[in-house]
Amino acid sequence: MHVPTEHPTIINKQIKTLDVPVFLIKEDYPMDKALEGVKILDMSRVQAGPSCAQLLGFLGADVIKLEDTVGGDNTRIDMAHIEGEDSVYYTIFNGNKKAMTLDLKSEKGVSIMSELVQWADILLENFSAGVMERLGLGYSQLKEINPGLIYASIKGYGDTGPYSSYKSFETAAQAMGGAMAATGVHGGPPMPTAAGIGDSGTGLHMAIGILAALRQKDKDGEGQHVEVAMQDGVVNLMRIRLIRSLSTGEPNERGVILGKSNLPPTFACSPGGYDDYVMIHLRGQLWETVLAVMGREDLIGDERYGDEAARNERPDEVIKIVTDWTSKRTKYEVFHALASAGVWCGAVLSPEEILTNEHLITRDMVVDVNDKDRGDYKMIGCPIKLSRSPVKVERAPLYSEHTDEILKDVVGIDPNEIPSLREQGIIV
Kindly list the catalytic residues.
199
- C-alpha to C-alpha distance for 183 and 177, rounded to whole angstroms: 12
**Cα gap 60→76, rounded to integer Å:** 24
Residues 205-210: contacts with CB within 8 Å, 24+ apart? 205/232, 205/233, 205/236, 206/48, 206/49, 206/52, 206/124, 206/152, 206/154, 207/52, 207/55, 207/56, 209/152, 210/52, 210/56, 210/122, 210/124, 210/150, 210/152
Task: Count CB-CB contacts under 10 A for residue 239.
Answer: 10
Shortest CA distance to 91 belongs to which of 405, 425, 395, 408? 395
Work out the number of other CB atoms within 10 angstroms of the CB of residue 183.
18
What is the rounded distance in angstroms from the CA atom of residue 124 to the CA atom of residue 41?
Answer: 6
Is 337 within 8 Å of 289 (Cβ atoms)? no
Peptide bond between residue 271 and the one before it cis (omega within 30 degrees of 0): yes
Residue (of 132, 130, 129, 128) closest to 151 by Cα position: 132
3-class DSSP assignment, residue 128 = coil
Using CA atoms, how far apart are residues 246 and 404, in angstroms rounded to an integer? 55
Instruction: Report helix, strand or coil for 400.
Output: coil
The candidate with the shortest Cα–Cα distance to 173, out of 228, 224, 235, is 235
Q: Round to whole Å and give the CA distance between 76 and 19.
A: 34
Instruction: Kindly calculate the radius of gyration of the chain based on its CA atoms and give it in whole angstroms.
Output: 26
Neighbours of 391 (CB within 10 A): 19
Nearest in space to 49 (alpha carbons), one of 171, 209, 165: 209
Q: Give me the DSSP letters along 322-381.
A: HHHHHTTSBHHHHHHHHHTTT--EEE---HHHHHH-HHHHHTTSEEEE--TTT--EEEE-
Q: How many CB atoms lie within 10 A of CB 8?
A: 18
Query: Residue 67: enclosing H or E segment and its boundaries?
Result: strand 62-67
